[in-house]
Amino acid sequence: MKQMIVLQFYCFVLVLLHAFALSSSSSIIPEIKHHVRITNNFKNKAFAYHCKSRDDDLGSTFFNCYFSYEHFSSTFDVYSRYLKQEVGGSKFFWTVQEDGFYLYHPRLGQNVKMHVWTDI
């Protein structure tokens, strides 16, 4: 009888631990922060931009930005799962220039032109 009570107690503790682990799993696994930096490399010019999240599903979030200056504009994802694989890290350094948009690729050690301005 005593063994049955001990077994039931251990089963109860195991169920509690399992429930606790499920409810706090996000705090057990460390969250990786991703950083997006957009640098203005224009010569004495400013541009406007607006960025927003298109999808808040964890693991597949997209951050899309609309850029404009004078009579040019461009819209593209500054962060996505594809870019994460392309860059191979958690830091996304964009440089905006008159001829387009460059993303720094750590594996290559240089900026790579990813997008161009469109005349509106």
Backbone angles phi, psi at 62, to 5 degrees: -120, 135
Burial grade of 111 (CB within 10 A; 0-12, 13-18, 19 or more): middle
Strands (E), the chain: 35-40, 48-55, 62-69, 72-79, 91-97, 100-105, 110-115, 118-119
State pLDDT tens for residues 67-115.
999 999 999 999 988 898 888 888 999 999 999 999 999 989 999 999 9
For the chain, domain boundaries: 1-31, 35-119
Residues 115 and 99: beta-carbon distance below 8 Å = no
Q: What percent of the chain has pLDDT over 70?
A: 68
